Amino acid sequence: MTLSEEDYIKAIYHLGKGENNIVSTNEVAEQMKTKPSSVTDMVKKLSDKGVANYRKYKGVCLTEYGQKVALTLVRKHRLWEVFLVEKLNFAWDEVHEVAEQLEHIKSEKLTDSLDELLGFPQVDPHGDPIPSKNGEFKKAVKKLLNEVPVGTSGTCVGVKDSSAPFLKFLDKNRIALGDTILVLEKEEFDGSLHIQVKEKDIRISDQIAANLYLKITE
């Protein structure tokens, strides 16, 4: 599998939300920042290789094998992210680009040794689960902060958007994974929230809340 093919496989996997839903040519094009015509060419090739099922005008999804490949890539990507944060002191908003390169390194021994070095982590720095060697992983029970009723309390376990600007915002506002968050009040007008995090009360917009995952504890 070439680097480019691998990135397409990951894109199809993520757009299908890990459930292997059919995704459209345009969706893939947007995700990959290429043109739809390039996507058509590539999904044909992936189809020929037995990695994807593609039907003209209907969209594409991964085969059983394709999903296996996707999970291996996701595993590698997230393990490298953990490595960068835990061993090389990268900030959580700095790891994505580099992991995007490292995920393509071909060596099963490398991946497994890395896993061991890191102590078999279950989640990456953004709270996303890391598939095990045989492709299993439990999808956490978590809810977006903006979909939870006032009074709910829980632990912040992940981010939906893991772009640098959003992660930097969280750093600046002292919100980190593992923090306990209590929803104090929700503003009718704009959906903004008043929440309590680590003793402090802060206000966050609906947009922020829509990108923070909570594991509800009570």
Partner DNA sequence: ACAAATATTTAGTTTTGTCTAAATTTTAAT
Partner DNA sequence: ATTAAAATTTAGACAAAACTAAATATTTGT
| Chain residues in the site for DNA (CB under 7 A) | 2-5, 8, 24-27, 33-45, 54, 56-59
- By CB under 8 A, tell whether 94 contacts a second copy: yes
Q: Tokens representing 211?
A: 């990108």
> 180 near 113, Cβ under 8 Å?
no
Q: Tokens representing 111?
A: 């991946």
Contacts to Mn ion from residues 6-25, by CB under 5 A: 7
- Residue 194 backbone dihedrals phi, psi, to 5 degrees: -110, 115
- Measured from the CB atom, is 97 or 188 closer to a second copy? 97
- By CB under 8 A, tell whether 107 contacts a second copy: yes
Using CB under 8 A, which of 4, 22, 47, 98 touches a second copy? 98
| Residue 156, contacted partner among a second copy, Mn ion, DNA, none, CB below 5-8 A by kind | none
Using CB under 5 A, which of 30, 86, 100, 179 touches Mn ion? 100
Q: Tokens representing 131?
A: 């598939």
Residues 6+ apart with CB under 8 A from 85: 91, 92, 95, 125
> What angle, 0 to 180 degrees and rounded to 10, lies between the N-to-C axes of helices 25-32 and 36-48?
110
- By CB under 8 A, tell whether 89 contacts a second copy: yes
Q: Cβ of residue 152: shortest distance to DNA, in angstroms?
A: 35
* Helices within the chain (DSSP H only): 3-15, 25-32, 36-48, 64-86, 95-102, 108-117, 164-172, 206-209
* Dist CA 99 CA 88 (whole Å): 13
- Measured from the CB atom, is 88 or 216 closer to a second copy? 88
Please choose, out of 110-118, 139-147, 156-164, 177-185, the segment that lies near a second copy by the rule CB under 8 A: 110-118
- By CB under 8 A, tell whether 133 contacts a second copy: no
* Dist CA 175 CA 191 (whole Å): 19
Binding residues for a second copy, rule: CB under 8 A, are 84, 87-90, 94, 97-98, 101-102, 105-107, 109-110, 113-114, 117
Binding residues for Mn ion, rule: CB under 5 A, are 7, 81, 100, 124, 126, 128
